[in-house]
Amino acid sequence: MTKCDLILALDVPEEAQAMAVLDRVGGDLRWVKIGLQLFTRHGPDFVERVASRGYRIFLDLKLHDIPNTVASAIESLAHLPIDLLTIHASGGSEMCRAAEAARRKSRPSLTLLAVTVLTSLDDAALRETGVNASAQEQVLHLARLATSAGVGGLVCSPLELPVLRRELGGAPVIVTPGVRPSGSALDDQKRALTPDEAARAGASYIVVGRPILKAADPAAAARSVRAELAAV
């Protein structure tokens, strides 16, 4: 089993807050996730500034549009020092193939991650959108669609990890949000596991935000999660 690592979700509204967290966490972390909140406020230059501190970057934009637009967006992002980038698998196989072609052309070192079903959604929420499959069934359906189109990575709840590894093997990089250390609040996550449970189930990376961001000692919280992963 590939060793699982921690990605800190920088889910804060301002650059100053993000940098203050990174100052406190320091070398106890290798990866950070930059999402829509910070990217739309501070732009590509913010990605450069975070990367200049030595962190590897997961840019979580969840691109979802017509194939040409998504491909063009990936080409526009290719100059940034990013290692992981999300698209929505629900954009369809044509969009996924276009995204993968743009990645190969413009930034071969980048891994695309196809988001399957958001961890804030459960079966009832899916039914509201017209999807009658269970969350697990829909995750597997979209994961097969994306990997068949050549996408090298996936995003799913940790609860779907066993079925994805059983069906797809060890090849896809799988990133799992919805991970909560023991004793942490679930917040808006409806399908969650602890870090060691996610690692044992086959996660390549876990994403943790609020349990570290809101900790009295973020560095100690990050060390605790990474130690839990290392023990698996």
Active site residues: 62
Give the single-character DSSP code of 3: P
Q: Taking a C-beta distance cutoff of 8 angstroms, is the pair 154, 175 a contact?
A: yes
Q: At residue 134, what are phi and psi to the nearest 5 degrees?
A: -70, 165
As to burial, measured by CB atoms within 10 angstroms (0-12 exposed, 13-18 middle, 19+ buried), residue 51 is middle
Give the single-character DSSP code of 79: T
The token pair that represents 127 in the structure block: 């039914």
- Which secondary-structure segment (H or E) carries 115? strand 111-115
- Separation CA 146–CA 232 (nearest Å): 29
Reference 158, options 200, 128, 127, 96; nearest CA is 200
Q: To the nearest 10°, report the CA torsion of 114, 117, 118, 119.
A: -120
